[in-house]
Structures are given as structure tokens and as C-alpha cells.
Amino acid sequence: MLKLENTTIKFGGLIAVNEVNVEIEEGSIFGLIGPNGAGKTTLFNIISGVNKPTSGKVIFNGKEIQGIQPYKINQLGIARTYQNINLFKKMTVLENVMVGCHSMSKSGFFSSIFRTKGQEEEEKYIVEKSMEILEFMELKDKSSFKASNLSYGEQRRLEISRALASDPKLLLLDEPAAGMNGKEKEELSEIIKKINKKGITVLLVEHDMKLVMKITDTICVLNYGKKLALGNPLAIQNNKEVIEAYLGGGLSV
Amino acid sequence: MENVNTNSMIDAIKNRMGILKDNKIKTIGIIAVVAVIAYMLQERYLSLILCFICINSIAVSGLDILFGYTGQVSFGHAGFYAIGAYTSTLLSMKANVPVILSILLAALLAMIFGTIIAFPASKLVKHFLSLMTIAFGQMVFMFISVTDKLTNGFSGIMNIPNIKVLGYTFTSNQSYFLLFATVTVFVVIGKKRLIDSRIGRALIAVRENPHAAAGMGINVRFYKILAFAVSAFLTGLAGAFYAHLMGFISPDTFTANQSNIFMTMLLFGGIASLVGPVIGSAILVIVTELMQSFVSYQMLIYAFFILAVLFYLPNGVVGIAAKIKAFLVKRRERKVK
């Protein structure tokens, strides 16, 4: 589904991502791990169009997408969340998700001003769809809250809801469990599995090893921008290089 | 249980959308009220003030779409105001274009200028954007002051024809007020519909967080340019109205001061709201008229208004009204308990 071919990005003299080759299979949950500064978020930014790779390709469903504007990437079917929460704080929870519906709706300027039938129906559909997503993410009873009034874990879930609203085929989650407590993490892993069951491929960057090992099908380990290892959770746990570079001593999961 | 909840939520939202139907009644009501006011205002001077309030409301609503909803600051809206006024004047006087058509063409030209400005402006934020818009306002001001042959320079243009619609010529201030008030109502309704639509949400998303907006499939640059275009259209329209109402224009009306006045009206009335620009325009126009004898201190008075907003009214008069409403609701809830 998504394929990175020799993807490299340099910031001045720093090679943040160095010749990474990865293929993500459709319908899988793919984990991306690595120590701080390994280039995980940069890789995310390359896929979502924020950064343009210096060389190499990003192929999504057979189409080269490197260097395309972020909003077009979203329209192609890749949605993302952010490491530092990037919600529209002054909008309500429902409105946040409704913004997420932007790329799957199409009413224009004049149909909005004259409130044509098509536009009204589309608005109704957007509201219904957004409420469905909020119900799925267990945020429905908070739909009229301001986004900034949600708890931390709820804000993270709202980010995922908003990303889901654009009907993505690939969902990029950048440290969704950061700052969550144990119970919230449990709920989150259930939610990610549920999203995956809907047929959405998930690419997950996460520091919480327990969570990653539990839900992913394949894991890619990055270190200093280079791919260190690729394999299923068990293989990664027993990979000597990975243990040395990242996990330090023994691993007890 | 849950199903009931969903239905009630959807009903609530439907009700919110149902305001539209009420809106039609509201519109008719407002027009009726306006007609009565106009009838009562046999006095020319008072209806002239009402005309100014309407014209400023249209211009400031335009500024609100740009600044309040999309978060792009502009201290150069007098430029669009001037383009609207001068274009309609020159078209109707020198090219004999029917006045109502000249007004539309003038607003469209202002919109085109707004779009052109927006291409570089959409890449700028904060003080860089304000500097650029100030420069734009100054450029238009210099242009209309220097081109003596076309605009008659500082002597201004006199005897600008009145507005004619379907054979009816607007001459009295009362008739102008009726026309402008109707247009203002339509502008406010159009603005509400725009803001409540997918496009309005995109504009607010751009203001709130441009990175996240881009990540959600919103073409940030396009919506920034769209906001500029719509904003310039409305301000240009207001400028054209001003020219035909007054019958006389000169560059003195279109200085940087005018841009600051628009901004003061918007901030004082309340940004990102439907009635804020109207309230702000009304209060500032009335204050300006009351203070006629202190014209040289005009900007000082406006400065006090801005300071009041900065320190005490972050959301303007509308914000205060909302706070009072929230307070009353809370008190009522307490009493119920």
C-alpha cells in the first residue's frame, strides 16, 4: 500500500532519514519505533507531505506522492494525527470532526451562500457522519464541548476522530498514547484495533513498547535515520542490534 | 437509550439549521422595522448617519471575514474602499455606465485587487502581513492623489450621479438608507451562511491552526486568498455606496486613518461575530458624530476605544453581551436548584 524507496532527507549537514526502504501492507498495523531523534516524526512528515525528501520515493497505491502538498495527500486518503496535539481549540468537538470531513465534501462558495438543496443535504450528511465517528470514538456525549475543554486523553481521541472523518485508507498516528495513563492506553489500543478492523491501514509511531508490541503486525526500527530492523514484534524483541541500540539491557514485556 | 440520544442530538442540530426558516421571518421583520425607522426619520441628518452605519457595517463585515474568521490582519482596507468608490464614480461619470452596474463592477475590481494582493499576502503572517497591507493602502492612496487627470487629485470629484434602479432614482437620504439597510441585511445573512458552511469551517480552521488545517485536506492558501477576495468585494461595495451617497469623493477620505477606523469598529464591536461589525459601526459612527466639534482629536478617541478593547473587552461589545447572558443563565440555573 505504502512503499518508501531509498527515502532520504537532509537538513543542512544532518541526515535525518537515511535511505529507508519500507513497505506497509494493506490492512496491517505497522509500528515505527526508535530512540529519540531517530527520524520517526520526520518520516511521518515526509509521508504526509510536510517535508519533501531530498531523494528517494514515496509510493502510495502505485502513485508517487513525495513532495505533494499536505492537503492533497489528505485528499488521496492519508490522514494523520500530531505528536503535539493540533486541534482547532476554539471550535467544538463536533465542528473539529466536521472540518475533518472537508476533503470528502464539495459544496462551493455560491451553493453555501444561496443554501442550495445539495448543500443542505451535504451539511446534514456531514453532521450525521461526524456524530457516528464521535460515537465510535466514545466522544459523542462531549460533542458540544469546546475542544480545549477536553481532557488530554480525550483530545488525543478527538484528533483520531478528526483524521477518520476524511475517510482515510492509511492512518498515521504520531505517539497517540503520549501522556495517557494505563487505562487510557488500554482503551486506545482497543480503538486502534477497531479502526484497523474497519479496513484502515494504520502506521503507528509510539514510545510505549508494551502497546506497540501488543497491537502491531510488523515493526520497523529506526536509529540515526537508518532502518535498523524490520519484522514482527517477536523478531524485533529478540533482535540483538535493536536491543543494543534502543532497548538497552534485557527486555521484559 | 443511546439511540434516543443520537436522535435528540441530530434534532438539536436540525433545529439550529431551522433558524434559516426563521431567518426569512427575521429578515422581513428587520426590513419592516427599518422602513418604520426611515419613515420616522424625516430629518435628513439622522438618516444620513444611519446610511453611514450601514456602509461601515458592510465594509467592516468584509474585514471581519478576513481578520475575524481567517485570522489575516489588514490595515489597508481603505485601499479597497477607495478602489470601490473611485471605480464606480469614474465608470458612471466618464464611461456612462449605469450606476447600479458601475457599483457591481467597482466591487468586482476591488475583489480582483484583493485576490492579487492575497497571492503574496497569503505567505505572510502577523506583523509582516500588517506591513504589507499598510503598504497596499498607502499605494492606493498615493495613486488617487497623484493621478490628477483621472481622479482630479486632492480637489476630488463632485456631482457623482445618484443610484438608479429600474428607473427609480435614489435622491433622499431616507431612500438611500432603505437601500443600504437591505443590502446590509443580505450581507449579514450571506456571511452567516458562509460561516456555517464547509467553507466557513475551513476559514476558521485556517485561523485556528494552519498546519492541522492542511493536514485535514484544506488548501490553506486557497482559503486565505478566498477570504481576501470576499473581504475586498464587500469593502469595495461599501466604498461605491459611499461615493454615490455623498456625491463627492476626495483622497482625504481614504487615508490610513480610514483603515484604522474600520479596524477599531471591528475590534470594538466584536471580531468573528455576525452583529459585532454592525454594533461597532453604529457606536463609532454615532460617537464620531457627537464629537464633531473635536474632529482633530478623532484618532485619540479611537485610540481609547482600542485600549478599552485590549484591556477590558477582548471580544468587544458582543463578548460583553455573551458574558452577561451566560451570567444570567447561571443565576437562573442556581435558582432552579
- Give yes or no for residue B123 having a pLDDT over 60: yes
A245: pLDDT confidence band, cut at 50, 70 and 90? confident
Same domain (yes/no): A54, A96: no
B6 or B243: which leads in pLDDT: B243
Res B180: pLDDT: 93
pLDDT digits (tens, 9 = 90+) for B217-270: 999 999 999 999 999 999 999 999 999 999 999 999 999 999 999 999 999 999
Nearest CA in chain A to B14: A124
Q: Indicate the residue type of A110.
A: F
In a domain, A139, yes or no: yes
Res A135: pLDDT: 93
State whether residue B194 sits within 8 Å of chain A by CB. yes
d(CA B272, CA B201): 12
B1: pLDDT confidence band, cut at 50, 70 and 90? very low
Q: Do B216 and A50 touch (CB under 8 A)?
A: no
State whether residue B20 sits within 8 Å of chain A by CB. yes
Res A223: pLDDT: 86
Last residue of a domain, one of A103, A128, A156: A156
Look up the CATH number of the domain holding residue A206: 3.40.50.300
CB A64 within 8 A of CB A58: yes
Instruction: Identify the weakest region by mean pLDDT among A16-30, A182-196, B12-26.
Output: B12-26
CB B144 within 8 A of CB B86: yes
Dihedrals φ, ψ of A52, to 5°?
A: -100, 130
Distance to chain A for B200, nearest Cα, Å: 9
Same domain (yes/no): A50, A110: no
d(CA A199, CA A25): 12
d(CA B190, CA B23): 11
d(CA B88, CA B171): 17
A98: pLDDT confidence band, cut at 50, 70 and 90? very high
State whether residue A148 sits within 8 Å of chain B by CB. no
Instruction: Note down the domain range covering A9.
Output: 2-77+168-247
Res A181: pLDDT: 86
* Per-residue 3-state assignment (H helix, E strand, C coil) for chain A: CEEEEEEEEEECCEEEEEEEEEEECCCCEEEEECCCCCCHHHHHHHHCCCCCCCEEEEEECCEECCCCCHHHHHHHCEEECCCCCCCCCCCEHHHHHHHHHHHHCCCCHHHHHCCCHHHHHHHHHHHHHHHHHHHHCCCHHHCCCEHHHCCHHHHHHHHHHHHHCCCCCEEEEECCCCCCCHHHHHHHHHHHHHHHHCCCEEEEECCCHHHHHHHCCEEEEEECCEEEEEECHHHHHCCHHHHHHHHCCCCCC
* Best CA proximity match to B77, nearest among B149, B133, B160: B133
Predicted ipTM of the assembly: 0.90
Q: Do A50 and B13 touch (CB under 8 A)?
A: no
Taking contacts as CB-CB distances below 8 angstroms, the residues of chain A near B5 are 140-141
Name the residue facing B197 among A112, A131, A141 (closest C-beta). Answer: A112
- Give yes or no for residue B19 having a pLDDT over 60: no
Last residue of a domain, one of A130, A156, A182: A156
Q: What's the grid cell of residue A89?
A: 481549540
d(CA B161, CA A92): 49
Mutation target for B interface from A72, A99, A117, A148: give the one with most B CBs within 10 A. Answer: A99
Taking contacts as CB-CB distances below 8 angstroms, the residues of chain A near B212 are 82, 86-88
Q: Do A88 and B205 touch (CB under 8 A)?
A: yes
Residues 6 or more apart in contact with residue B71 via CB below 8 angstroms: B206, B207, B208
Section B320-336 average pLDDT: 86
Mutation target for B interface from A87, A95, A102: give the one with most B CBs within 10 A. Answer: A102
Residues 6 or more apart in contact with residue A146 via CB below 8 angstroms: A89, A90, A91, A92, A93
d(CA A178, CA A193): 18
Q: Can you tell me whether residue B212 is helix, strand or coil?
A: helix
Average pLDDT, chain B: 88
Domain ranges of chain B: 41-258
CB A78 within 8 A of CB A169: yes
State whether residue B17 sits within 8 Å of chain A by CB. yes
Q: What's the grid cell of residue B137?
A: 493602502
Last residue of a domain, one of A156, A176, A208: A156
State whether residue A127 sits within 8 Å of chain B by CB. yes
d(CA A105, CA A110): 15
Residues 6 or more apart in contact with residue B99 via CB below 8 angstroms: B88, B92, B161, B162, B163, B164, B244
**In this prediction, what percent of chain B has a pLDDT beyond 90?**
59
Q: Do A71 and B9 touch (CB under 8 A)?
A: no
Q: State the residue for C-alpha cell 442550495.
A: A116
Nearest CA in chain B to A165: B216
CA angle, corner B150, sides to B148 and B154, nearest 5?
40
d(CA A82, CA A85): 6
Size of interface A-B (CB pairs under 8 A): 114
pLDDT digits (tens, 9 = 90+) for B58-111: 999 999 999 999 999 999 999 999 999 999 999 999 999 999 999 999 999 999
Section B40-48 average pLDDT: 77
Distance to chain B for A149, nearest Cα, Å: 15
Res B88: pLDDT: 96
pTM over 0.90: no
d(CA B129, CA A109): 25
Q: Do A105 and B209 touch (CB under 8 A)?
A: no
Neighbours of A210 (CB within 10 A): 13
Distance to chain B for A15, nearest Cα, Å: 24
d(CA B55, CA A232): 68
State whether residue A246 sits within 8 Å of chain B by CB. no
Distance to chain A for B324, nearest Cα, Å: 20
* First and final C-alpha spacing in chain B: 26
**In this prediction, what percent of chain B has a pLDDT beyond 70?**
92
Name the residue facing B215 among A74, A107, A141 (closest C-beta). Answer: A74
Q: Do B205 and A98 touch (CB under 8 A)?
A: no
Query: How many independent structural domains does chain A possess?
Result: 2
pLDDT digits (tens, 9 = 90+) for A115-173: 999 999 999 999 999 999 999 998 999 999 999 999 888 899 999 999 999 999 999 99
In a domain, A253, yes or no: no
Name the residue facing B209 among A88, A127, A163 (closest C-beta). Answer: A88
Name the residue facing A90 among B208, B215, B216 (closest C-beta). Answer: B208
